């Protein structure tokens, strides 16, 4: 932590290394992006998006109601019927390549805006979110004229109008994960960004204009839960793609029952990160830190349950604590910052509530010495030990920088504990033994397994969950199925 010391860690002093903020111009107000134009909400309602690191209001955003969602879906339908549907794949590809290039050209602007609106450290938005978003468009551009080779039949057809609802943890990247495959497959889109992080999606709308994307192919309706519900329930939507909580996912599934809408759900997780005694501990510590503290733990695939073999528990925890003492929490726009702001007051309250439950249920709580900024939403990196499987902090998704440590003795016990959750999004394995990696990878009921690494993402690599973490995949050949009438 900045300017702090701990007993067993060297105290490092860091001079501020601020990223220049002036590269971004935030307008006082933003409209909805419908039919290629920015328009106010029909009833004139707006909401405010704030910088979670300072609580300063950033802009007033149009709040889309049912009428606006209807307009957006109609615009998407018209574009699908008249322009995007009939367009040859090779031409769609060119538009997507343009978007990929434009995101790369304006990468720093996107990164700064993302960190301001979301609270995530600039080094993450700069090195992960934005490059991956560009890569996602580039990758899928190449599929647009090769769909007949994707294994979904000789002449796969698009589904139609896709309604896409995305979360606040990776605002631009999730928009790219949704839009790129949908557009490549020939669908048109109505995207609903999260209430607390609308700005980069609206900048992406500007990029769509710059790319000359035909009006109505991409529409963006900003708002909160009611906007998302209106989009999911709209009869003109042929496909719903949702990333968010399992709770909301189930509501959408129920509302879509009997409609015949095609669905993909990317929901919550409670991943086990399994460390065996023979693991390279320094690497494992880095993997654990990356697994749970990347993006303040606002990651559905976060390694929130550390399962460590009993024989190395103490050694590993000692090294983990020492490492956590070197993490720097603070200004998201400082290039040295490791832990940024919690995205919203609401999320901070949830993290606090679950952490309090962890203590109340008997787990031991620890955080490194850490001074939190006075304004904004902050939560220190936190480790709970003495956690049992029945504790809420071992069962519920906290979606914050909170690690629950459990132990195991045998590989079989590790499997049983890792799978003891209704979720099944991801898992981690740390061991030097190749046969054990493959043995465990086969038995973990999770859609993504990182062995001796964690939180790696790539547009060519299918991502998605088992069980109540949802269904359908994003990325790779597999991800195309979600947007084809296969």
Partner 1 sequence: MPEDRNFPNGIPPASVGGRLAVRKTYKLFIGGAFPRSESGRVYPVLGDGGTLLGNAAQASRKDARDAVSAARGAVGKWSGATAYNRGQVLYRVAEMLDGRAAQFTAEVAAAERVAEREAGRQVDAAIDRWVWYAGWPDKVAQVAGGANQVAGPYFNFSVPEPTGVVAVIAPQEPSLLGFVSVVAPVIATGNTAVVVASEDHPLPAVSLAEVLATSDLPGGVVNVLTGRAGELAPVLAGHMDVNAIDLTGVVPDGRADLERLAAGSVKRVFAADEDWAAAPSTRRMLAFLETKTVWHPMGT
Spatial separation of the C-alpha atoms in residues 165 and 231, rounded to whole Å: 8
CB of 153 to partner 1, least distance (A): 8
300 catalytic? Reply is yes
Spatial separation of the C-alpha atoms in residues 389 and 379, rounded to whole Å: 24
Q: How far are the Cα atoms of 50, 65, 203, 341, 348 from residue 47, in angstroms, in the given order? A: 10, 12, 17, 21, 20
The active-site residue, picked from 114, 195, 208, 300, is 300
Nearer to partner 1, 60 or 485 (CB): 485
Nearer to partner 1, 202 or 240 (CB): 240
Spatial separation of the C-alpha atoms in residues 399 and 288, rounded to whole Å: 15
The active-site residue, picked from 266, 468, 474, 481, is 266
Nearer to partner 1, 384 or 466 (CB): 466
Is residue 107 a contact residue for partner 1 (CB under 8 A)? Answer: no
> What is the greatest pairwise CA distance in the chain?
67
Is residue 249 a contact residue for partner 1 (CB under 8 A)? Answer: yes
CB 406 within 8 A of CB 358: no
Out of 293, 384, 450, 483, the only residue in the binding site for partner 1 (CB under 8 A) is: 450
- The residue range among 365-373, 400-408, 413-421, 459-467 that interacts with partner 1, by the rule CB under 8 A, is 459-467
Tell me the per-residue interface mask from 426 to 445 with partner 1, x by CB under 8 A, - otherwise. Answer: -----------x---x----
Is residue 419 a contact residue for partner 1 (CB under 8 A)? Answer: no
Q: How far are the Cα atoms of 144, 156, 189, 484 from residue 148, in angstroms, in the given order? A: 10, 6, 22, 11
Is residue 466 a contact residue for partner 1 (CB under 8 A)? Answer: yes
Spatial separation of the C-alpha atoms in residues 215 and 34, rounded to whole Å: 8
- Angle 392-301-417 from CA coordinates, rounded to 5°: 50
CB of 191 to partner 1, least distance (A): 23
CB of 442 to partner 1, least distance (A): 8
Out of 24, 96, 100, 135, the only residue in the binding site for partner 1 (CB under 8 A) is: 135
Contacts with partner 1: how many residues (CB under 8 A)? 42
- State which H helix or E strand residue 374 sits in: none
Is residue 418 a contact residue for partner 1 (CB under 8 A)? Answer: no
CB 146 within 8 A of CB 105: no
Nearer to partner 1, 400 or 479 (CB): 479
Is residue 449 a contact residue for partner 1 (CB under 8 A)? Answer: yes
Spatial separation of the C-alpha atoms in residues 91 and 74, rounded to whole Å: 23
Nearer to partner 1, 207 or 440 (CB): 440
Is residue 40 a contact residue for partner 1 (CB under 8 A)? Answer: no
Residue 272's Cβ-side half-sphere holds a number of Cα atoms within 13 Å equal to 30
Is residue 453 a contact residue for partner 1 (CB under 8 A)? Answer: yes
Q: 428: alpha, beta or left, given left = phi > 0 and alpha = psi -120 to 50?
A: beta
The tokens for 169 are: 């943890």
Is residue 104 a contact residue for partner 1 (CB under 8 A)? Answer: no
Is residue 246 a contact residue for partner 1 (CB under 8 A)? Answer: yes
Pairing of strands 448-451, 426-430: parallel
Is residue 406 a contact residue for partner 1 (CB under 8 A)? Answer: no
Residue 454's Cβ-side half-sphere holds a number of Cα atoms within 13 Å equal to 31
Tell me the per-residue interface mask from 256 to 275 with partner 1, x by CB under 8 A, - otherwise. Answer: xxxx-----x-x--------
Q: Which residues are catalytic?
A: 266, 300
Under the rule (CB under 8 A), what is the footprint of partner 1?
Answer: 135, 151, 246, 249-250, 253-254, 256-259, 265, 267, 422, 437, 441, 446-453, 456, 458, 460-464, 466-471, 473, 476-478, 486
């Amino acid at each position: 932590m900045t300017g702090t010391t701990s007993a067993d860690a060297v105290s490092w002093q860091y001079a501020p290394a601020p990223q220049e903020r002036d590269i971004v111009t935030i307008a006082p107000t933003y409209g909805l992006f419908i039919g290629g134009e920015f328009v106010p909400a029909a009833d004139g309602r707006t909401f405010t998006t704030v910088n979670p690191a300072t609580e300063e209001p950033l802009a007033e955003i149009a709040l889309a109601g049912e009428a606006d969602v209807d307009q957006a879906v109609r615009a998407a339908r018209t574009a699908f019927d008249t322009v995007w549907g009939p367009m040859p794949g090779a031409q769609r590809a060119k538009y997507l390549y343009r978007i990929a290039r434009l995101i790369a050209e304006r990468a720093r602007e996107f990164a700064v805006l993302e960190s301001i609106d979301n609270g995530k450290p600039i080094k993450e938005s700069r090195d992960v979110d934005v490059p991956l978003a560009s890569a996602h468009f580039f990758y899928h551009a190449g599929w647009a004229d090769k769909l007949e080779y994707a294994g979904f039949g000789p002449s796969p057809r698009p589904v139609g109008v896709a309604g896409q609802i995305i979360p606040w943890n990776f605002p631009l990247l999730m928009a790219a994960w949704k839009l790129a495959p949908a557009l490549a497959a020939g669908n048109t889109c109505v995207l609903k960004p999260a209430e607390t992080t609308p700005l980069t999606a609206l900048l992406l709308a500007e990029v769509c204009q710059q790319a000359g994307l035909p009006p109505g192919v991409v529409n963006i309706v900003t708002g909160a839960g009611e906007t998302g519900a209106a989009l999911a329930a709209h009869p003109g939507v042929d496909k719903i793609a949702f990333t968010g909580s399992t709770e909301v996912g189930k509501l959408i599934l129920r509302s879509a029952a009997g409609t015949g809408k095609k669905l993909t759900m990317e929901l919550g997780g409670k991943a086990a990160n399994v460390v065996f005694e023979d693991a390279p501990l320094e690497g494992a510590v880095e993997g654990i830190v990356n697994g749970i503290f990347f993006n303040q733990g606002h990651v559905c695939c976060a390694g929130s349950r550390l399962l460590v073999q009993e024989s190395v528990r103490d050694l590993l925890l000692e090294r983990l604590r020492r490492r956590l003492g070197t993490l720097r929490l603070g200004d998201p726009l400082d290039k040295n910052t490791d832990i940024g702001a919690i995205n919203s007051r609401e999320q901070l309250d949830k993290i606090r509530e679950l952490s309090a439950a962890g203590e109340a249920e008997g787990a031991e709580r620890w955080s490194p010495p850490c001074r939190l900024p006075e304004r904004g939403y902050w939560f220190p990196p936190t480790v709970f030990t003495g956690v049992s499987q029945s504790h809420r902090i071992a069962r519920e998704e906290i979606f914050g920088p909170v690690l629950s440590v459990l132990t195991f003795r045998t590989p079989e016990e590790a499997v049983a504990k890792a799978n003891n959750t209704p979720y099944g999004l991801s898992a981690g394995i740390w061991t030097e033994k190749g046969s054990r990696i493959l043995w465990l990878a086969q038995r973990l009921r999770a859609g993504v397994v990182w062995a001796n690494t964690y939180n790696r993402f790539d547009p060519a690599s299918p991502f998605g969950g088992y069980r109540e973490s949802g269904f359908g995949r994003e990325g790779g050949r597999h991800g195309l199925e979600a947007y084809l009438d296969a």
